[in-house]
Amino acid sequence: MTEPVLSVRNLQVEFASRRGTLRAIDDVSFDIAKGEVLGVVGESGAGKSVTGLAVIGLIDPPGRIAGGEIHLAGLRIDNLPPEEMRRVRGKRIGMIFQDPLTSLNPLYRVGDQIVETIRTHLNLSETAARRRAIDLLAEVGIPAPEKRIDGYPHEFSGGMRQRVVIALAICAEPELIIADEPTTALDVSVQAQIISLIKRLGRDHGTAVMLVTHDMGVIAETSDRVAVMYAGRVAEIGPVQDVVKNPLHPYAKGLMGAIPTLAGEDKRLVQIPGSMPRLSAIPRGCSFNPRCAFAFDRCRVERPEPLQRGAQAVACHLYDTVPAESAA
Amino acid sequence: MLAFTLRRAVQAIGVMFAVGIIAFSMFRFAGDPVNQIVSIDTSAAERAIVRKSLGLDDPVPVQFVRYFADAAQFKFGVSYQFRQPVSALLSERMPATLELAICATVFAMVFGILMGVYSALKRDTVLAKLFQAVSLIGISLPTFLIGILLIYLFAVTLGWLPSFGRGEVVKLGWWTTGLLTLSGLKALIMPSITLGLFQMTLIMRLVRAEMLEVLRTDYIRFARARGLTTRAIHFGHALKNTLIPVITVAGLQFGSVIAFSIITETVFQWPGMGLLFVQAVQNVDIPIMAAYLLMVSLIFVTINLVVDILYTVVDPRLRATVGRAA
């Protein structure tokens, strides 16, 4: 395999708080290859968004990257000086946020915001940048872009605004797009359009995509690989079919079991008992152990490290001593 | 847009009408106006003649319509103490007050915005904290005290600046300006600071709070994620969003700057409308007081109108709703 576009190694993110340092991301590692879509799922507070922000270098104090390395196409970016990191943002990494209604500056025309971003990163004249902005709007599926480019954000619907946000994120042809819950704030009918748009853009431009969401349906539809996060750690990572059809980690099993199916309507929806621990009270050993039906003594003392099982990697002691069948 | 402006203009006329009633009733409230014009030993017959010549024997509504019609043409009657038309007295004093008010507002805006932006962006620096502390003093110290302290320091102790008056003025048509002579400019410094200090601290605190608020918004985070320069984010995206409430406050404050110039003008013996008003109060010169009330409210109403229109220029969202409503 060629060098991955994004390589995150043992990333740790900490937030200083009055009650001591909280570790939001603990020892997270993953790669994303060119043209690949990596889905990142987990409950709220599992560290999905923080991981995305860490990659693009927008962790603000009191938060900080406390350890690990992030490489973008071989270049280490987690310790770049602010000005160089700024040049990476928008140019080589594009980011899409959750709420398109608040992501655009209400006082500037949509076109001016795109042109400003293009001219920040590419050496283009005003007119060339404007032409490019119109092309981009057309590419993300905005009708009559030569007219809409002079519109203000409030003149666009939610779905259309998210398309504008996507156009802004890809305007300098980045190698990586981080999409942080890009469809959560949208209508279901619009969600599918946005997802297929992101997928198409990734394919057409060979862009790597990190798709952060809590929606398993979106992941199953879009991603090539999926990382399941729990309490700031990757519980399981692997090809999307494997993880969805045959999850290994007890938490991943629970998550997949919680997807309602059309076929089995008579069954009660499966729940994972309990809730995710707060950052200030992460249990010793495996952070999932208080909620895990299979937990044994070792889970309460020793933190599990990721173990390779076929194409999947799973951080669970169940797979350390005995082969997979005992887990079911 | 035009309909919006017209509607606001009609509202403004309504407000002026209400103020007109108040101004008019001042004449009756302070007793019989004839008593204030004539001397004590004037006979009843002579009083009746004066009353008739001034139209004071007409029914009250007729008098009011006449007063309002005259006031609309800036005819406010004759001052009791100066025996001159009030409009002439006011127009003679107005340039001094307006010049002072404009200088004070410009001073307040420039320093207020600069200090506000600085203390928002460099929140933890010593200078930012100093600004905060100074602004507290500016907000809590009464104007006259600041004026007196300035006079004591710069006029009495150091002797750098004149302690009273406007200095030499140049006449440009009916307008007199102190901006063209050195002594005029020097005389303007302390009154402007005195008058503008409160607004400056107000604007500074407002800009700081708004800026911090705006910097937390999603579109600023998205602007950072797009790799825009810090400069473009702070001064392009953030500051423009910050300025909307600042326009309102600065605009409305301009009215109170003119109204509160009474105190500053008294402290510095500044020959403006405020000083005229204070003298009028001391001498129960009702025509001047009523005219001053009308003038100040006219300025307030006009500023409000301008601020409303300015909003729509700055904020496109408002333009849309205004267009739809119209």
**Beta carbons of A97 and B218 less than 8 Å apart:** yes
Band (A327; pLDDT cuts 50, 70, 90): very low
Is the confidence at residue A324, as pLDDT, over 50? Answer: no
Q: Is B225 on the interface with A (CB under 8 A)?
A: yes
Which residue does chain B place closest to A120, by CA atoms? Answer: B228
Distance from CA of B94 to the nearest CA of A (A): 38
Which residue does chain B place closest to A86, by CA atoms? Answer: B227
The minimal CB distance from A105 to the residues B219, B224, B320 is found for: B219
Indicate the residue type of A99. D
The minimal CB distance from A95 to the residues B225, B230, B320 is found for: B225
Distance from CA of A90 to the nearest CA of B (A): 4
Average pLDDT over residues B251-257: 81
pLDDT at A40 (0 to 100): 92
Average pLDDT over residues B198-202: 89
Portion 275-314 of B in contact with A at CB < 8 A: 314
Taking only the tens place, the pLDDT of each residue in A267-303 is 666 777 778 888 888 888 888 888 888 888 888 888 8
Is the confidence at residue A106, as pLDDT, over 60? Answer: yes
**Beta carbons of B218 and A99 less than 8 Å apart:** yes
B46: which DSSP letter?
Answer: H
pLDDT at A326 (0 to 100): 45
Is there a contact between B280 and B78 (Cβ–Cβ < 8 Å)? Answer: no
The minimal CB distance from B240 to the residues A89, A107, A152 is found for: A107
Q: Mutate which of B216, B217, B219 to test chain A, going by most A C-beta atoms within 10 A?
A: B219
pLDDT at A296 (0 to 100): 85
The minimal CB distance from A107 to the residues B226, B232, B315 is found for: B315
What percent of chain A stands above pLDDT 90?
A: 17
Is the confidence at residue A134, as pLDDT, over 90? Answer: yes
Q: Is B234 on the interface with A (CB under 8 A)?
A: no
Give Cα separations from A13 to A62, A82, B216, B224, B241 (angstroms). 11, 17, 20, 20, 32
Q: Is B238 on the interface with A (CB under 8 A)?
A: no
**Beta carbons of B241 and A88 less than 8 Å apart:** no
Which residue does chain A place closest to B229, by CA atoms? Answer: A86
Is there a contact between A235 and A251 (Cβ–Cβ < 8 Å)? Answer: yes
pLDDT at B250 (0 to 100): 81
Taking only the tens place, the pLDDT of each residue in B11-63 is 888 998 898 888 888 777 766 767 767 777 778 888 888 788 777 777 888 88
What percent of chain B stands above pLDDT 70?
A: 96
Q: Which two tokens stand for residue B230?
A: 């810090």
CA-to-CA distance for B19 and B11, rounded, in angstroms? 13
Is the confidence at residue B64, as pLDDT, over 70? Answer: yes
Is the confidence at residue A114, as pLDDT, over 60? Answer: yes
Contacts for B20 with CB less than 8 Å, ≥ 6 apart? B64, B67, B68, B71, B294
b (16+ CB within 10 A) / e for B134-161: ebeebeeeebeebbbebbeebbeeeeeb
Q: φ and ψ at A89, to 5 degrees?
A: -65, 135
The minimal CB distance from B227 to the residues A104, A108, A120 is found for: A120
The minimal CB distance from B223 to the residues A99, A105, A107 is found for: A105
**Beta carbons of B316 and A154 less than 8 Å apart:** yes
Indicate the Cα dihedral angle A114, A120, A124, A127, nearest 10°.
40
Give Cα separations from B117 to A194, A311, B107, B229 (angstroms). 38, 53, 15, 17
Distance from CA of B193 to the nearest CA of A (A): 33
Q: φ and ψ at A211, to 5 degrees?
A: -105, 105
Band (A227; pLDDT cuts 50, 70, 90): very high
Nearest to B277 by CA among B105, B264, B196: B264
Is the confidence at residue B1, as pLDDT, over 70? Answer: no
More reliable by pLDDT, A305 or A261: A305
Q: Is A168 on the interface with B (CB under 8 A)?
A: yes
**Beta carbons of A106 and B317 less than 8 Å apart:** yes
pLDDT at B326 (0 to 100): 39
The minimal CB distance from A120 to the residues B217, B218, B228 is found for: B228
Average pLDDT over residues B120-145: 86
pTM across the whole model? 0.77
What percent of chain A stands above pLDDT 70?
A: 93
3-state DSSP of chain A: CCCCCEEEEEEEEEEEECCEEEEEEEEEEEEECCCCEEEEECCCCCCHHHHHHHHHCCCCCCEEEEEEEEEECCEECCCCCHHHHHHHECCCEEEECCCHHHHCCCCCCHHHHHHHHHHHHCCCCHHHHHHHHHHHHHHCCCCCHHHHCCCCHHHCCHHHHHHHHHHHHCCCCCCEEEEECCCCCCCHHHHHHHHHHHHHHHHHHCCEEEEECCCHHHHHHHCCEEEEEECCEEEEEEEHHHHHHCCCCHHHHHHHHCCCCCCCCCCCCCCCCCCCCCHHHCCCCCCCHHHCCCCCHHHHCCCCCCEEECCEEECCCHHHHCCHHHHC
What's the mean per-residue pLDDT of chain A?
A: 85
Indicate the residue type of B144. F
Average pLDDT over residues B105-124: 90
B78: which DSSP letter?
Answer: B
What's the mean per-residue pLDDT of chain B?
A: 84
Nearest to A52 by CA among A79, A70, A27, A76: A70
Residue with tokens 């919006």: B4
Is the confidence at residue A325, as pLDDT, over 60? Answer: no
Q: Which residues of B touch A155 (CB under 8 A)?
A: 320
pLDDT at A74 (0 to 100): 85
Is there a contact between B280 and B289 (Cβ–Cβ < 8 Å)? Answer: yes
Check whether the bond before A62 is cis (ω within 30° of 0).
yes
Q: Is A97 on the interface with B (CB under 8 A)?
A: yes
Give Cα separations from B292 to B84, B152, B191 (angstroms). 15, 31, 21
pLDDT at A129 (0 to 100): 92
Average pLDDT over residues A42-68: 87
Indicate the Cα dihedral angle B86, B91, B97, B99, nearest 10°.
180
pLDDT at B325 (0 to 100): 46
Average pLDDT over residues B214-235: 89
A318: number of Cβ within 10 Å: 24
Portion 240-269 of B in contact with A at CB < 8 A: 240-241
Taking only the tens place, the pLDDT of each residue in B168-184 is 778 877 777 877 788 88
Is the confidence at residue B81, as pLDDT, over 80? Answer: no
Is the confidence at residue B65, as pLDDT, over 90? Answer: no
Average pLDDT over residues B287-300: 87
Which residue does chain B place closest to A174, by CA atoms? Answer: B226
pLDDT at A328 (0 to 100): 41
Is there a contact between B203 and B249 (Cβ–Cβ < 8 Å)? Answer: yes
